[in-house]
Amino acid sequence: MAKTPPTKSHGRLSISASLQPRDLMVDRPRLKGAWCAKVITLFPDAFPGVLGASLTGKALQDGLWRLEPIDLRPFGEGKHRNVDDTPAGGGAGMVLRADVVGKALDKAAQGTPDRTKWPVIYLSPRGKPFTQSMAQSWSQAEGLTMICGRFEGVDQRVLDEYQVEEVSLGDFVLTGGEIAAQAMIDATVRLLPNVLGNAASTEEESFSNGLLEHPQYTRPATWKGRNIPDVLMSGHHGEIAKWRKEQSEKLTKERRPDLTGKDADDA
């Protein structure tokens, strides 16, 4: 890459001429009614990304969920399909234009039900922190639309006009919303029926009962002089369950006292 000073942070992007979203694997027979994530992004090629691997990837292939990246670029203005402009009031960076993002949201809204069944989210460090209970609730919806910001973010008016909910991956600043979108989609998709092989595992894992999960072990029984705790090798299911619960409670108290006693629904 040439080392030119980045006067406009999007300067190296190529322009895509198509208004058609890349609807991945739409022709698969089981897709009708499958949970769907529509993701508005300047980087549609970043999808499915890691969501294409392992269990989420297999579930995508099998049509258990659907992914529709919506390229923001074709909604841009003028010959260069500009999507951003300088911040009103001055300051560094660029802001994604309300009119451009609005057109992409209109496109995304086609064929979707009301917000109770289809949340519309802007990935944003200013948003409500993402939790397991949000993932639970989104997995009950028919799908969702996500806006991935870039640069300094999105013009406030489009968030107000479309009543977009802001959700944050955590208290840090990413370069764009794509990684946050993939993290949240992953957490949601693995809760959909049949995505994980062992359905029970989502009920017992961290956060689902307001506790962190107990430690896990597997073979070999001894490694570098460290043994698997005897109780786990004892075959006493009652004792094992008791030990795991105690470990869970101890760990949660030590590491996340803010979680103790909280039900997943309070999160």
119/47 Cα distance (integer angstroms)? 20
Work out whether 187 is an interface residue with ligand SAH (CB under 6 A): no
Q: Which of 148, 158, 189, 232 binds ligand SAH (CB under 6 A)?
A: 148
From the DSSP assignment, how many helices (H) and strands (E) are in the chain?
8, 9
70: contact with ligand SAH by CB under 6 A: no
Report the residue number, 169 or 195, with the smaller CB distance to ligand SAH: 169
Q: What is the contact mask toward ligand SAH in residues 152 to 181, using x (rule: CB under 6 A)?
A: xx--------------xxx-xxx-xx--x-
CA-to-CA distance for 8 and 94, rounded, in angstroms?
A: 7
Q: Please tell me whether residue 149 binds ligand SAH under the rule CB under 6 A.
A: yes
Q: Quick check: 150 binds ligand SAH (CB under 6 A)? A: yes
CB of 5 to ligand SAH, least distance (A): 20
Residues 6+ apart with CB under 8 A from 235: none
Q: How far is the CB of 55 from ligand SAH (least distance, A)?
A: 23
Vertex 29: Cα angle to 23 and 54 (nearest 5)? 65
Asked whether the beta carbons of 127 and 170 are under 8 A apart, the reply is no
Closest approach of Cβ 7 to ligand SAH, in Å?
A: 18
Rounded to a whole number of angstroms, the minimum distance from the CB of residue 96 to ligand SAH is 8
Find the DSSP H helices in 141-261.
Answer: 156-161, 178-189, 201-204, 230-233, 237-255
Q: Which two tokens stand for residue 4?
A: 């030119």
Using CB atoms, what's the residue nearest to ligand SAH?
149
Enumerate binding residues for ligand SAH (CB under 6 A): 123-126, 148-150, 152-153, 168-170, 172-174, 176-177, 180
